[in-house]
Amino acid sequence: MRRKPKLQPKKGKPVNAIDQWTTPPRKFETIAIIGAGAYGTALASVAARAGRRVRIFGRRAETVNDINKNRRNSAYLGDEPLPEGIEAFTDLKAALLGADAALLVVPSAGIREMSCAMRPHSSRSMPVVICAKGIEPNSGLLLSDVVREEMPGQPVAALSGPTFADEVVADMPTTVTIAAELAPGETLEDGLAARLALSLSAGSFRAYVSDDLIGVETGGAMKNVIAIACGISRGAGFRANMTAALITRGLAEMTQLATKLGGSADTISGLSGLGDLTLTCSSEQSRNLRFGLQLGAGAKREQTFDGAPVIVEGVRNSVSVTDLARKLGLTLPICEAVRAIVHDNADIVTTLGMLWSRPLEAESHEIDVTIGHPNASEAREKIEGLIGC
C-alpha cells in the first residue's frame, strides 16, 4: 500500500539543501551510477565534482572503455570532458562494491529488471535514487514502489527536475529536487534527501529537498506526455496560444493525479513539476517534444527520428498514466488525446477538436462546476480552417 508522505514543514514545499543547517548530515562518500547513457554520465560528473568517489555501470564495453581511458562518453556526450574520479565497469557487482548510495539512471521500462539485478550486490542500508521518470504499465506503480517490491527494505529516493544532460555535464546552472519519505523522528534537515542533496550539490548543480516522493515522481512521469501534446500541436500548425493552454491545463492534470495519489499540489508547482514541464515543452532538445512535432507534421510513429530506436518516455507513459487515472476515476483529457493519437492513430484534428468541445467548467479541478457544451462542430471547423485542412 502506497504511504502518504509525512510532511515538515508545509506539505510539498522544497527546502534548500545547503544553507539552513547548523549541523549538516553526513555525506555519502562513494556513489554508484547505474546506467552509462547521457544522463547517467552527467550525474556521474556531478557526483565527481562534489568530491564523491564514483563508480558507473554500463553494458557497452566501448562506452566503459571510453570513460576509463579517455574521460569521455563520446557515444552520448561527444567530446565533453569528464572530471577525474569516475571509474566505469561492465560488471554490476563491481560497480556496486563499496557504494554508499546508488543512482538508478536507466529508462523507466528497465527499473524492475535492474532493481532485481542489483539486489544481491547491494547493502541493505544503501539508498537507491530513482532518476528515471515513469509509471509502470499494468501495475500502475510509481517507480519507487517497483524498487520496493524488488528490493524490500531498501531506502528509496527520487531525483527529478528540469535537466538536459549536456548542460549538466558541462556544469551549467541546474536545479533539481531530491525527495525521500521521512523515517520516524526525522526532519527534512536530517533525512535521506538532505544527505543526498549535500552529497551532490557543488559547482552549478543545486539540489532542493522534499519528502513528497509521490508528487515528485508523478510530475516526472506526466510531463513527457504533455510535451508530446505540445509537439503535436506545433507540428500540426498551431501556435503559442495553444502551447500555453496545453502546458497550463497539462499542469492541472498533473496536479489532479498527484493529489489523488497522496502527493502535494505545491510539489507539482515546483522544480519536478512545473519546472520540468516548462523545459520539456519549450525546448527541441526534448525527445518528447521532437517526437510530437514529427507526428503533428504527418510522420508515422515508426518514421520519427528517421526510424532510429530512440527512447521517448512519454509514449509508454501516455498509456500507464491514463490507465492509472481511469482506475482512480479521473479524466485527463490531454493525456487521453496523446494516447489516442500515438497508440490508436486517431485523427489529430478531430482529437484536438474534442479538447475544445468539452463541457465548459471552472478552471480549478477542485471546483465541480459544468457550465454547458460549446458547439462541437463549430470547434472542429475552426481548427480545420486554422491548419488548412
| 186 in a known ligand binding site | no
SS3 content of the chain, % helix, strand, coil (to 5): 50, 10, 40
Q: According to DSSP H, which parts of the chain are helical?
A: 38-49, 61-70, 74-77, 92-96, 111-118, 143-150, 165-169, 192-200, 213-235, 240-261, 265-268, 276-282, 287-296, 313-327, 333-344, 348-356, 376-387
Mean pLDDT of all residues in 99-118: 98
Specify if 7 maps to a domain: no
Of the residues 194, 211, 228, which one is the last residue of a structural domain?
Answer: 211
3-state SS class at 23: coil
Is the domain of 37 the same as that of 124? Answer: yes
Contact between 267 and 258 (Cβ < 8 Å): yes
Cell output for 77: 556526450
Is the domain of 47 the same as that of 195? Answer: yes
Specify if 372 maps to a domain: yes
| 273 in a known ligand binding site | no
Specify if 5 maps to a domain: no
Is the domain of 240 the same as that of 268? Answer: yes
Is the domain of 98 the same as that of 179? Answer: yes
- C-alpha span between 200 and 75 (Å, rounded): 25
What sign does the CA torsion over 304, 308, 312, 318 have?
positive
pLDDT band at 306 (very low <50, low <70, confident <90, very high): confident
- Looking at residue 349, which CATH number applies to its domain? 1.10.1040.10
Is the domain of 115 the same as that of 170? Answer: yes
Mean pLDDT of all residues in 206-210: 98
| 288 in a known ligand binding site | yes
* Arithmetic mean of pLDDT over the chain: 91
- C-alpha span between 184 and 207 (Å, rounded): 23
| 175 in a known ligand binding site | no
Is the domain of 204 the same as that of 258? Answer: no
- pLDDT of residue 21 exceeding 90, the answer is no
Please name which of 279, 267, 173 lies closest in space to residue 226, comparing C-alpha atoms. 279
| 119 in a known ligand binding site | no
More confident residue, 383 or 139: 139
Specify if 1 maps to a domain: no
3-state SS class at 373: coil
pLDDT computed for residue 298 by the predictor:
93
Please name which of 49, 286, 73 lies closest in space to residue 164, comparing C-alpha atoms. 286
Is the domain of 82 the same as that of 174? Answer: yes
Of the residues 196, 211, 226, which one is the last residue of a structural domain?
Answer: 211
pTM: 0.90
Is the domain of 199 the same as that of 289? Answer: no
Mean pLDDT of all residues in 218-239: 97
Specify if 6 maps to a domain: no
- Selected catalytic residue, list 13, 223, 260, 382: 223
Of the residues 211, 238, 263, which one is the last residue of a structural domain?
Answer: 211
- C-alpha span between 68 and 279 (Å, rounded): 32
Is the domain of 90 the same as that of 220? Answer: no
- pLDDT of residue 5 exceeding 70, the answer is no
Cell output for 146: 517497483
| 260 in a known ligand binding site | no
Specify if 383 maps to a domain: yes
Q: What is the number of structural domains in the chain?
A: 2
Is the domain of 230 the same as that of 350? Answer: yes
Give the structural domain span for 106: 15-211
- Looking at residue 107, which CATH number applies to its domain? 3.40.50.720
pLDDT band at 357 (very low <50, low <70, confident <90, very high): confident
Place of cell 538508478: 104
- pLDDT of residue 378 exceeding 80, the answer is no
Cell output for 40: 547517467
Is the domain of 163 the same as that of 223? Answer: no
Percent of the residues in the chain that have a pLDDT greater than 90, as a whole number = 80
Is residue 27 among the annotated active site residues? no
- C-alpha span between 226 and 247 (Å, rounded): 7
| 286 in a known ligand binding site | yes
Is the domain of 181 the same as that of 278? Answer: no
Specify if 33 maps to a domain: yes
